[in-house]
Amino acid sequence: MAMPASPTSTKSGASPIKPFTIKTTQTEVGTQSLLAVLSGLVGASEKLEAENLRPGGRLDVLSRQIDQGQWRPVTNCAMWSHFIVLGTPFFNLFAGVVQSSELITHCTRSYHTLPSKSYHIMLRTYRGPCDRRASGRSARDERERPSLSQGKDNTMATFYDDWLAAGERIQEEFRRSPMIAHDRNIPWVRTRQDAKVKLMVANELGFPTMGGCVLKAEIPVGWHTGRHVHGEESLHILRGRGFSVIHDQRFDWHTGSTLQIPYRAEHQHFNTGDEPALYLSAMCLPLELFVKLGSLEQREDCGPNDSAVLAAIPEQESQFLKDGRRAVIHLEQAPTDQSYHPHRHLAAVQQQHETVRYLVVPANGFKATSVAMTFMFEDPPYHHSGRHKHLEAMIYILEGEGYSEVQGRDEHWEAGDLLHVPPAMYEHEHYNDSPHVCRQLRIQFGIRYWFTDIWPEGYTAQRIYDNAGQPITAGAIQRERNPA
Ligand SMILES: [Fe+2]
């Protein structure tokens, strides 16, 4: 979380040093009430209140933008990018932070489109050394008026009070956040990299991730994506035929292929088939940005293929990069033997699905670290998964329809949707309650295992048992879970 630093001096150098103070207010409101809440908090400074509430002022404009379904965030705040910071010209005086309770269905660099007029508001007021000067309030006014940020015992609240409240705030975020990205609700956008792309799960969309993100993109017939460089990426071809160039090596793919792009490896994808190519991509760019290692370098934009360029690209020689790492596996090559499971010794991974196909796992020659599309699950009609709990995972629905029960919440999904299991050790179970086969793609983010290593007794995946002490394993939905 972005913690305000303790200032060491004011700009004029004349005022006494005062630490930043913090107040957090949480509520759930509609648009008009949102305006009132913002007004109340900004009202901590009469001068700012007048500035923001006048017709055409900041809050007036904000309210109209929300009513029109569009919201222009004033700035971004990295790892907390699903929060929108307001009032940045007065950042050291006031910053209102707002989190949507609904899935934000469209995101570009500067616009968010919100699907409903109900917002979960978490506003945090920062009051720093300049607030008295900017508000015109005297030192005596400050003494006579109780501070917004005074602690319970009338002492000044500090960063430590904020830390004390952080755990419950995160749990509340888990309870309120969306778990499903519904494909049908997310519009396509165009970027320099992709002619059609939709960000599905990311922090800025309200999902409390551990720093990963997942997007879906389409390469038109006869087109290529942009050519760029960033962190590690795992990629699954949902439909189509073509090839990728990774580190100057060509790797062919078709529907069902999974590719692993190493950290900082230049890459580009070419559609050479007769239909649009659709792919799912998972990366850790938000985490990399948070730790100040993020970088995205665009070296060529997406566009139509040049036949001369295509002809000059050598044929594929191997499914492995020259350094020995595997780059691609086709679904028909994927083994189903559980000996390929990297955590096969854990009870929590036993009997979880009817069939598991192993994709980007070490036993297949991959060396994924921060992100990997590890498995494909296949379950017959009217079949449920085993029940277990673990830190974060994401499940993309390739085929079928059903729902997942996650810590008491039933989340319906269908082909094209993406389930985010939050890093909350929530018990969960997946139900294919349809007459069709269900196929799911499981996405793993390596930061989960970094924390599991730190606290294995708390974060290791655990199998769930019923009241009779029997493990809840995959099987027909009609089973009796809790016999009398
Ligand atoms: Fe799971």
Judgement on whether residues 311 and 351 belong to the same structural domain of the protein? no
Cα-to-centroid distance, 394 and ligand 1 (Å) = 8
Q: 325 pLDDT band (50/70/90 cuts)?
A: very high
Q: Considering only residues 396 and 102, tell me which one the structure prediction assigns the higher pLDDT.
A: 396
Q: pTM value?
A: 0.71
Q: Which of 290, 305, 329 is the last residue of a domain?
A: 329
Provide the domain count of the chain: 3
Output the domain CATH number for residue 204.
2.60.120.10
Cα-to-centroid distance, 202 and ligand 1 (Å) = 19
Q: Which of 329, 364, 382 is the last residue of a domain?
A: 329
In a domain, 392, yes or no: yes
Judgement on whether residues 307 and 415 belong to the same structural domain of the protein? no
Distance of alpha carbon 338 from alpha carbon 101, whole angstroms: 39
Judgement on whether residues 443 and 321 belong to the same structural domain of the protein? no
Cα-to-centroid distance, 444 and ligand 1 (Å) = 10
Judgement on whether residues 468 and 398 belong to the same structural domain of the protein? yes
Q: Which domain holds residue 89?
A: 21-176
Cα-to-centroid distance, 327 and ligand 1 (Å) = 26
Among 60-74, 146-160, 324-338, 464-478, which range has the highest average pLDDT?
Answer: 324-338
Distance of alpha carbon 447 from alpha carbon 449, whole angstroms: 5
The answer to whether residues 397 and 379 touch, using CB atoms and an 8 Å cutoff, is: no
Cα-to-centroid distance, 456 and ligand 1 (Å) = 17
Q: Which of 285, 306, 329 is the last residue of a domain?
A: 329
Q: 54 pLDDT band (50/70/90 cuts)?
A: low
pLDDT of residue 92: 29
Judgement on whether residues 359 and 402 belong to the same structural domain of the protein? yes
Judgement on whether residues 49 and 172 belong to the same structural domain of the protein? yes
Judgement on whether residues 151 and 48 belong to the same structural domain of the protein? yes
Cα-to-centroid distance, 187 and ligand 1 (Å) = 28
Stretch 1-28: mean pLDDT:
38
pLDDT in tens, 63-119: 555 444 444 333 322 222 233 334 333 332 233 434 433 333 333 223 333 333 344
Q: Considering only residues 52 and 385, tell me which one the structure prediction assigns the higher pLDDT.
A: 385
How does strand 227-229 pair with strand 297-300?
Answer: antiparallel
Judgement on whether residues 50 and 160 belong to the same structural domain of the protein? yes
pLDDT of residue 61: 53
pLDDT of residue 187: 93
Cα-to-centroid distance, 385 and ligand 1 (Å) = 9
Q: What is the mean pLDDT of the chain?
A: 78
Q: What is the share, in percent, of the chain residues with pLDDT greater than 90?
A: 64
Cα-to-centroid distance, 233 and ligand 1 (Å) = 21
Distance of alpha carbon 427 from alpha carbon 463, whole angstroms: 9
Cα-to-centroid distance, 390 and ligand 1 (Å) = 6
Give the closest residue to 471 by CA, choosing from 355, 347, 345, 346.
347
Convert 295-309 to b/e letters by CB count within 10 Å (16 or more is b).
eeeeeeebeebeeee
